[in-house]
Amino acid sequence: MSDFPETLFIETTTRCNLSCAMCARCQPGWEGGFGDLDFGLFERLGEPLRHARAVVLNGMGEPLLHPDLPRMVRFVKQRQPEGGWCGLQTNGLPLDGGLARDLAEAGLDVACVSHDGEVDLGHGPGRPGGLGDPLERAAALLRHASRETGRPMRIGVETVLMRGNVGSLPALVERAASLGLDFLLASHLLPMDADSEAEALFLPVSAASLALFSRHQADAQAQGLDLGAVPRGAAMFPRSPADQAFLDVFLRMRDEAREQGVWLNVVRLAAVDQGERARLADIFGEARNRARALGLELRLPPLTAPDRPQDRRCPFMERCAAFIDWRGRVSPCHFLWHGHQCRVLGDRKRVDARHFGDISATPLEELWRDPEFVLFRDTVRRAEYPACGDCGAALCSDVSGVSGPFERDCLGLEVPCGHCPWSVGQLACLGS
């Protein structure tokens, strides 16, 4: 076990110049508050920064709004070990030439600019007009500042993939390359309400369960049956010939799934639009081909969950990450950083923040080594939690959290990771 975190996510502010409907801080149930990280509190991270190979200076707000941001970057780079990097994600709108230069001079290594695509995200007040294309403008300002100061900076774009914009992904790859960007980071949407679920592309079921179900569904349809519509007669006696034929196919599928260790949520699998899946695969393939030809680093999320529960991974545990919010409280991961509400597996989900102390009272390195925090990280790394997306039951109360804070899952584990959208690859961000 490392005595210090190797990756630090430091929330500079929860204030933002936009009010996007897709953001948890703009939804009912947000408990993160609104404010800026005090620089005096930030300085308490001086020793951990000497061990941090990656530092990301943003959380649930717009980092460019913090008045001390260049000073924070300089503080990080004066302490970070050789080869370490400091970066941030931004909507780019508050950026001007002076701020871009200040950040470059301070040593900012990576800047990732968000891109809305073609979907109306309900930004609300705060989006200024007359600035032209925000991505093109921010990229030009950052490139110019990097050249002017002689400080290299990796500049990229992040986009959230949805039904309304995924078709333009290959074009976005070409545009990013034409702007001289280094990388494109794509993530799926985490729905905040029932309406936004219609835009979500990610399937929480595993590719193995989808392939197995599709094969047996084809067998059933050849007999005029549908595995997605379990007839009442299949559980009744006497059965009709059609009921028995349905049951035969269903049991063959169940037995094969059991032999392969595959969990099946038949209702969720039956609702999958195979035509859309094929179209998405084609779009992703075209985007990869264009990125390869143009020399652009492209990171795309998977379209389904990992095949086996043990294949799921927590990028934050793998990177030995610690999260510090603007108040100084320490959390283990992005999902548990703040209390909020969202939609998971088709139901309302209440997320309660998980804190392991406060750097205003205790040095981060002491909190990091606390046995309770160590046990949490070790439990997550073992990835022995349930595969909630493939579970055939409804979203249980432990997962939904609407009846009270999470205590333990159906396997008795006290880490709420079986349904985490990060561990299945649904969500991605700079540093994950």
- CATH number of the structural domain spanning residue 27: 3.20.20.70
Q: Are residues 247 and 287 in the same domain?
A: no
Q: Is 403 domain-assigned?
A: no
Q: 165 lies in a domain? A: yes
What number is the average pLDDT over the span 35-41? 97
Taking residue 78's Cβ as centre, other Cβ atoms within 10 Å add up to 12
Residue 414 domain-assigned (yes or no): no
Residue 245 shares a structural domain with residue 381:
no
pLDDT, position 5? 97
What's the token pair of residue 422?
């990060």
Residues 237, 207 share a domain: yes
Structure tokens at 395: 């979203």
pLDDT, tens digit, 9 for 90 and up, residues 202-233: 998 888 999 999 999 999 899 988 887 765 54
Tokens representing residue 85 in the block: 């990097």
Q: Please indicate, yes or no, whether residues 177 and 310 belong to a single structural domain of this protein.
A: yes
Compute the distance between CA of residue 263 and CA of residue 207 in angstroms, rounded to an integer. Answer: 11
In a domain, 2, yes or no: no
Residues 6+ apart with CB under 8 A from 267: 228, 392
Instruction: Please report where in the chains the tokens 């006497």 appear, as a residue.
Output: 238
Please count the helices (runs of H) and the strands (runs of E) in the chain.
14, 13
Question: Looking at the 3D structure of the chain, how many domains does it have?
Answer: 2
For position 51, what pLDDT does the model report? 97
Is there a single domain that holds both residue 305 and residue 362?
yes
Q: Please check whether residues 248 and 371 belong to one and the same domain.
A: no
Sign of CA dihedral 268, 274, 279, 284: positive
- Amino acid identity, residue 169? L
Pair 349, 342: CB distance under 8 Å = yes
Instruction: Report yes or no: 36 and 326 within 8 Å, Cβ to Cβ.
Output: yes
Q: For residue 224, which phi and psi values (nearest 5 degrees)?
A: 80, 25
Cβ atoms 52, 85 nearer than 8 A: no
pTM for the model: 0.91
- Residue 65 phi/psi, 5-degree rounding, is -80, -15
Answer yes or no: do 239 and 143 share one domain.
Answer: no
Is 247 in the same domain as 368?
no
What is the extent of the structural domain holding 333?
A: 7-201+276-390
Nearest to 343 by CA among 188, 121, 161, 191: 191
Closest to 214 (Cα-Cα) out of 304, 283, 288: 304
Among candidate residues 264, 294, 313, the one where a domain is terminated: 264
* 140 located within any domain: yes
Average pLDDT over residues 396-417: 79
Does any domain span residue 427? Answer: no
Taking a C-beta distance cutoff of 8 angstroms, is the pair 430, 112 a contact?
Answer: yes
Smallest CA-to-CA distance from 340 within 350, 328, 325, 327 is with 350
Q: What does the pLDDT read at residue 42? A: 98
Mean pLDDT across the stretch 370-393? Answer: 87
Q: Which of 375, 390, 405 delimits the end of a domain?
A: 390
Nearest to 362 by CA among 324, 335, 332: 324
pLDDT band at residue 307, thresholds of 50, 70 and 90? confident
Q: Give residue-wise pLDDT tens across range 117-151.
A: 544 444 444 444 444 588 999 999 999 999 999 99
Residue 417 tokens, joined: 């990771």
Residues 346 and 316 in one domain: yes
- Helix, strand, or coil (residue 75): helix
Pair (17, 129) in one structural domain: yes
The strand pair at 330-331 and 321-324 is best described as antiparallel
Is residue 431 assigned to a domain?
A: no
Give the pLDDT score at 68: 98
Q: Can you tell me whether residue 85 is helix, strand or coil? A: strand
- Higher-confidence residue of 185 and 19: namely 185
Do 207 and 194 belong together in one domain? no
Instruction: Give the whole-angstrom CA distance, residue 198 versus residue 192.
Output: 11
pLDDT at 289 over 60: yes
Task: Classify residue 137: in a domain, yes or no.
Answer: yes
Q: Which residues of 217-251 are buried (b: 16+ CB within 10 A; e: fewer)?
A: beebeeeebebeeeeeebeeeeeeeebebbbebbe
**Residue 294: how many other CB atoms lie within 10 Å:** 13
State the pLDDT at residue 195: 85
Alpha-carbon dihedral of residues 150, 156, 157, 160, nearest 10 degrees?
A: -140
Same structural domain, 291 and 361:
yes
